[in-house]
Chains A and B, each alone.
Chain A
Amino acid sequence: MDALIVIFVSGIVAMFIAMTHKPLLVLATALVGLSVGIGLMVNQWYNPYLLFDYNGLAFGRGEVIYSVAAMTFALLIIAGGYTYFKREPEHTGEYISLILFSLTGALCMIGYTDLFMFFIGLEILSIPVYVLAGSKKKDLQSSEAGLKYFFTGAFATGILLFGTAWVYGATGTFDLRELSNILSEGTANGPLLFVGILMMMASFLFKVGAAPFHFWGPDVYAGSPNIITGYMASVVKMAGLYAFLKLFTYVFAPVSDLWSGALFGMIVLTMFVGNLSALRQTKFKRLLAYSSISNAGYALMAPMIISDASLFNLWIYLLGYGFAVIALIVISLIVNDESDDIESYKGIGRKNPWIGFVLVLSVLSLAGVPPLAGFFGKYMVFSSAFATYPILVILAVINSGIGVFYYLRFVMVALSSEDAEQAPVLKPCVLQWGVLAICAIGLLLSGYITL
């Protein structure tokens, strides 16, 4: 809870400091705020008596690990995107503080114990991202991305609210604990509740970009500034998927017969839509968008399994995914190519072996090659689902096989030795080197974390 306040306050401070037109100072404020926030969260892990249960928010151990990961990702995003933010010094503060505000929302979405707080968190998370998606004002695609994300997002929020209302109507409470008690007694079961749950599920799947609610994904990802794409793929996904896990796996578990069948179907659809569409992409960010759709499909297998281990499995999965995406996004900033063609990555492994190394690590981690984090995440999610849903796991493994095709093509472009002279000269700044190094270490080691 104190971390939440620190982050929100540092966002406000950053916004005011921006009036001095000193981007470096804004960056320093944000990084200090985030570091203090992470420190407070870690402290909470070691001192459980600090667990604070405000009406609607509680940070237990599960929440702490997700919050730390989300804050770390935000820190990497802000540090890695600084060269982009400072290009327009008068707007630097806005970018950075909007990201911090949105992160506040993400933390609310992670720590909620009340559907009401969850809704507020979702809005605080989403509205800054709508603005950020359209922040390249002179770029038509960016405006399109902002508008599209806003309209479809608002529609999904409406459905979520509607679903919440139905659930409230059936049970008479917003509180997760009471809700869980009522559901396990089974007194509230009926069409009112079921329709509400399904509506909530639909809007959740919209937020994480799962098929058939994925159509906004590629356009928004491709249109937004690169660094915001990275933010959406890492932090927003983490918050959305954890909120989903908390609500469905732990609260709606007694009625899992109702929603698990629907989720099963949508996971299969998501994986195939994501992977098959990614096969023919020639633009980097669209490739990333479809890969993120298919990854959402794999990640959604964790909430299917009603078990305490699901929480940790999903976390490891999202951790590996987040590091890989952030590394790729920072590399795309370094390459800095307007056309965003995959071909523009040609030969960067030759030109700058270290960047090539991180790129290969992150793509292979996305493809699930051991011993990288992506492999462990996939393995843990898949293997825990194997006993209950073997067919689903087999389909997911087939999809991983399809995925290798486009990931490998990307690696081959990046490592190709032909025309290496034409490869762009890359000048990453110190901060970006730092971010890439942290991502590489994360990709190599985070699979071995045990708690």
Chain B
Amino acid sequence: MELFAIPLVFALIALVAPKSKVNYVGLIGAVVSMVVSFIHVANFSPDQYVSLFAPDFMLPFGLTFKMGYDGIGLFMVVLTNVITSLILLSNLNREIAHNRAFNALVLLMQFGLLGVFTAMDGIMFYIFWELTLVPIFLISYWFGSADRKKPLMKFFIYTFVGSLAMLLSFMALGTYSNSFAYEDLLAAQLTAKTAFWVMCGFFLAFAIKIPLFPFHTWQPDTYTVSPMAGTMLLSALMLKMALYGMVRWMIPIAPEALDTLSCLVITLGMIGVVYAAVIAIKQSDIKRLFAFASISHVGLIAAGIMLFNKDALAGAFIQIANHSLVALGLFLAADILERRMGTRNMYDMGGVAKLAPKFGFWFAAVAFASVSVPLTSGFIGEFLLLKGVYNYSWIVGLVAGTTLVLGAVYTLRAYQISMFGAPKMEHFADLTWNEMLTFFIIMLIILVVGIYPQAIIDFVGPSLDLTIESVKGAKVIVQ
């Protein structure tokens, strides 16, 4: 229980703390919550399920309030806590961090995300899923750039409508099961047709949040107008909710429809990989470039999840962690450039590497991690995913493989244009200690995971095995 209480309590403290110290209140809240989640990890063996909250009453329509985690859930909980701490750390010296509402909202967001990753009841999952929308909307609305209104409206409506489709799926499931507890939903016997529509409802919600190719139009604008912390929360954590949702909810609940839909989702993912990468190459706005890069990367993860075999799923989880960290680093770098040069246009930048060598080094390190060079976590993740899609079909494997080439092109091009060449300005303040520390921690985790990926695979493996078995079992019954 303390896992959820800490962010909430600190959010309340942040609302009344003095403005000069409120940035530390936020950071301490996130860090304490991170430490608590580490304690949970220490007491956890990967093949167990830990129940956090299981009251013996339920609401008349079947809401049971169950919360708990297995390996997958705890992995996401730790990721959330680490990333939130890093986001607050990277903002520590900014003006925005001295705003009470900002700190409270980030912590509220953390609370919502922890709820999403530990909900073991369909409606609880939905409630937390929607709860995260409010703080991120407010963060972007209050602290975003001047032209934020239209993109944010689009973002909210897009995601809300997607969630409503998911709600419809839950309503349909409710007619097949006594309660919305996870195990009851798993046990529900759906006909192939129902399963198809249920999965479509989930898919719409998740595809908008990820975002997959035809549903991505809200994303670049929203990322661009949001403040740095908002963009980081959106790309590093919010879209992970959808990927997690696919593994935890969409596929195990309606496994009968997996074979029907997997071809479509993989195709959409592949289109996204190539399409977004090509657009990214043509971008001059550095934040937009990284936004499209994000679409390109997550398309591959979504495709890997739809394969639903152990290697691809393990790759997906490694890549989920990797993408969170890399996105954090890249958006931090983009924001540092924007803030200190007053523009997002890469062609107005240049020569920064000479003026600010530390920044040049760390930005380069993150850029290489983004290109997934060996020894970084991205290498293992993308390798497992590519292997999976190659086994599915060699054409898909070939298309997916272009992500490595195109990714290198747009990332290194962005780095080259913005950092090298003749300096366009006389002074460029180098990294402050907290920005440096953020980059350092990001790279540290990326390298550790890159060198010893087995840690993550062992951690989420047993839960993945269970999920895969239940999906296979359900498929056998249908056949």
Interchain CB contact under 8 A, B175 and A386: yes
**Residue interface bits A345-381, CB-to-B below 8 A is 1, else 0:** 0000000000000000000100101110001100110
User: What residue in chain A is nearest B123 (Cβ atoms)?
Assistant: A379
**What chain A residues lie within 8 Å of B61 (beta carbons)?**
379-380, 383-384
User: What residue in chain A is nearest B115 (Cβ atoms)?
Assistant: A371
**What chain B residues lie within 8 Å of A448 (beta carbons)?**
59
Q: Give complex CA distance A375, B157 in Å.
A: 16
Q: List 29 A-B contacts (CB under 8 A).
A: A309-B60, A369-B130, A369-B160, A371-B127, A371-B131, A379-B171, A383-B61, A384-B61, A386-B168, A386-B171, A386-B172, A386-B174, A386-B175, A387-B175, A393-B171, A394-B168, A397-B164, A397-B165, A398-B164, A401-B160, A401-B161, A404-B156, A404-B161, A405-B153, A408-B153, A412-B141, A412-B149, A412-B153, A415-B142
Chain B residues bordering chain A, tally (CB within 8 A): 29
- Closest chain-A Cβ to B86's Cβ sits at a distance in Å of 27
A417 within 8 A of B: yes
Q: Give complex CA distance A386, B176 in Å.
A: 12
**What chain B residues lie within 8 Å of A371 (beta carbons)?**
127, 131
Interchain CB contact under 8 A, A450 and B164: no
Q: Knowing that A390-B172, A415-B138 are A-B contacts, what are 17 other residue pairs whose CB atoms are under 8 Å apart, sorted by A's residue number?
A: A369-B134, A376-B59, A379-B61, A379-B123, A379-B171, A382-B171, A384-B61, A386-B168, A386-B175, A393-B168, A393-B171, A394-B168, A397-B164, A397-B167, A405-B153, A415-B141, A450-B60
- Closest chain-A Cβ to B116's Cβ sits at a distance in Å of 12
B126 within 8 A of A: yes
A400 within 8 A of B: yes
* Contacting residue for A408 out of B123, B126, B157, CB 8 A: B157
Interchain CB contact under 8 A, A400 and B164: yes
- Closest chain-B Cβ to A420's Cβ sits at a distance in Å of 11
Q: A383-B174, A404-B160, A415-B142 are in contact. Are A409 and B168 (CB under 8 A)?
A: no
- Closest chain-A Cβ to B296's Cβ sits at a distance in Å of 28
Residues on A lying within 8 angstroms of B by beta carbon are 309, 312, 364, 367, 369-371, 375-376, 379-380, 382-384, 386-387, 390, 393-394, 397-398, 400-401, 404-405, 408-409, 412, 415, 417, 448, 450
**What chain A residues lie within 8 Å of B172 (beta carbons)?**
386, 390
Interchain CB contact under 8 A, A417 and B164: no
Q: Give complex CA distance A405, B153 in Å.
A: 8
Q: Give complex CA distance A384, B60 in Å.
A: 11
- Closest chain-A Cβ to B96's Cβ sits at a distance in Å of 13
**What chain A residues lie within 8 Å of B141 (beta carbons)?**
412, 415
**What chain A residues lie within 8 Å of B133 (beta carbons)?**
369
Q: A380-B61, A408-B157 are in contact. Are A397 and B168 (CB under 8 A)?
A: yes
Interchain CB contact under 8 A, B156 and A370: no
Interchain CB contact under 8 A, B142 and A417: yes
Q: Give complex CA distance A376, B123 in Å.
A: 10
- Closest chain-A Cβ to B178's Cβ sits at a distance in Å of 13
Q: Nearest 7 A-B pairs (CB), nearest first?
A: A370-B127, A401-B161, A383-B171, A386-B171, A371-B127, A387-B175, A370-B130
Q: Give complex CA distance A382, B61 in Å.
A: 11
- Closest chain-B Cβ to A445's Cβ sits at a distance in Å of 12
User: What residue in chain A is nearest B153 (Cβ atoms)?
Assistant: A408
User: What residue in chain A is nearest B176 (Cβ atoms)?
Assistant: A387
Interchain CB contact under 8 A, A409 and B153: yes
Interface residues of B in 120-157 (CB under 8 A from A): 123, 126-127, 130-131, 133-134, 138, 141-142, 149, 152-153, 156-157
Interchain CB contact under 8 A, A408 and B131: no
* Contacting residue for B157 out of A364, A382, A398, A405, CB 8 A: A405
**What chain B residues lie within 8 Å of A387 (beta carbons)?**
175
- Closest chain-B Cβ to A265's Cβ sits at a distance in Å of 21
**What chain A residues lie within 8 Å of B127 (beta carbons)?**
370-371, 375
Q: Give complex CA distance A387, B127 in Å.
A: 22
Interface residues of B in 394-413 (CB under 8 A from A): none
- Closest chain-B Cβ to A176's Cβ sits at a distance in Å of 26
- Closest chain-A Cβ to B180's Cβ sits at a distance in Å of 10
**What chain B residues lie within 8 Å of A364 (beta carbons)?**
134
User: What residue in chain A is nearest B148 (Cβ atoms)?
Assistant: A412
- Closest chain-B Cβ to A361's Cβ sits at a distance in Å of 10
**What chain A residues lie within 8 Å of B171 (beta carbons)?**
379, 382-383, 386, 393
Interchain CB contact under 8 A, A404 and B157: yes
**What chain B residues lie within 8 Å of A409 (beta carbons)?**
153
User: What residue in chain B is nearest A385 (Cβ atoms)?
Assistant: B171
- Closest chain-B Cβ to A270's Cβ sits at a distance in Å of 19
**What chain A residues lie within 8 Å of B164 (beta carbons)?**
397-398, 400-401
User: What residue in chain B is nearest A371 (Cβ atoms)?
Assistant: B127
**Residue interface bits B42-81, CB-to-A below 8 A is 1, else 0:** 0000000000000001011100000000000000000000
Interchain CB contact under 8 A, A370 and B153: no
Q: Give complex CA distance A367, B131 in Å.
A: 13
Q: Give complex CA distance A204, B156 in Å.
A: 36
Q: Give complex CA distance A412, B153 in Å.
A: 9
User: What residue in chain A is nearest B172 (Cβ atoms)?
Assistant: A386
Q: Give complex CA distance A380, B138 in Å.
A: 28
- Closest chain-B Cβ to A427's Cβ sits at a distance in Å of 23
**What chain A residues lie within 8 Å of B134 (beta carbons)?**
364, 369
* Contacting residue for B126 out of A370, A404, A412, CB 8 A: A370
**What chain A residues lie within 8 Å of B149 (beta carbons)?**
412
Interface residues of B in 318-376 (CB under 8 A from A): none
Q: Give complex CA distance A312, B60 in Å.
A: 10
Q: Give complex CA distance A9, B475 in Å.
A: 68
**What chain B residues lie within 8 Å of A376 (beta carbons)?**
59
Q: Give complex CA distance A400, B127 in Å.
A: 16
Q: Give complex CA distance A60, B189 in Å.
A: 39
- Closest chain-B Cβ to A379's Cβ sits at a distance in Å of 7
User: What residue in chain B is nearest A408 (Cβ atoms)?
Assistant: B156
Q: Give complex CA distance A256, B67 in Å.
A: 42
Q: Give complex CA distance A376, B171 in Å.
A: 12
**Interface centre among A379, A398, A405, A409, by most B CB within 10 Å?**
A379
User: What residue in chain B is nearest A316 (Cβ atoms)?
Assistant: B60
Interchain CB contact under 8 A, B60 and A401: no
**What chain A residues lie within 8 Å of B130 (beta carbons)?**
369-370, 375
**What chain B residues lie within 8 Å of A450 (beta carbons)?**
57, 59-60
User: What residue in chain B is nearest A418 (Cβ atoms)?
Assistant: B146
User: What residue in chain B is nearest A364 (Cβ atoms)?
Assistant: B134
Q: Give complex CA distance A450, B63 in Å.
A: 11
Q: Give complex CA distance A408, B161 in Å.
A: 13
User: What residue in chain B is nearest A388 (Cβ atoms)?
Assistant: B175
* Contacting residue for B131 out of A370, A383, A417, CB 8 A: A370
**What chain A residues lie within 8 Å of B160 (beta carbons)?**
367, 369, 401, 404
Q: Give complex CA distance A375, B138 in Å.
A: 20
**Residue interface bits B170-208, CB-to-A below 8 A is 1, else 0:** 011011000000000000000000000000000000000
**What chain A residues lie within 8 Å of B161 (beta carbons)?**
401, 404
**What chain B residues lie within 8 Å of A404 (beta carbons)?**
156-157, 160-161
User: What residue in chain B is nearest A312 (Cβ atoms)?
Assistant: B60
**What chain B residues lie within 8 Å of A398 (beta carbons)?**
164
Q: Give complex CA distance A405, B155 in Å.
A: 11
User: What residue in chain B is nearest A386 (Cβ atoms)?
Assistant: B171
Q: Give complex CA distance A389, B174 in Å.
A: 14
**What chain A residues lie within 8 Å of B126 (beta carbons)?**
370
**What chain B residues lie within 8 Å of A415 (beta carbons)?**
138, 141-142
Q: Give complex CA distance A288, B399 in Å.
A: 52
User: What residue in chain A is nearest B65 (Cβ atoms)?
Assistant: A448
User: What residue in chain A is nearest B60 (Cβ atoms)?
Assistant: A450
User: What residue in chain B is nearest A449 (Cβ atoms)?
Assistant: B59
Interchain CB contact under 8 A, B157 and A401: yes
Q: Give complex CA distance A369, B137 in Å.
A: 13
**What chain A residues lie within 8 Å of B156 (beta carbons)?**
404, 408
Q: Give complex CA distance A390, B198 in Å.
A: 13
Q: Give complex CA distance A367, B134 in Å.
A: 12
- Closest chain-B Cβ to A397's Cβ sits at a distance in Å of 5
- Closest chain-A Cβ to B137's Cβ sits at a distance in Å of 8
Q: Give complex CA distance A390, B174 in Å.
A: 13
**Interface centre among A369, A370, A398, A412, by most B CB within 10 Å?**
A370
Q: Give complex CA distance A384, B175 in Å.
A: 9
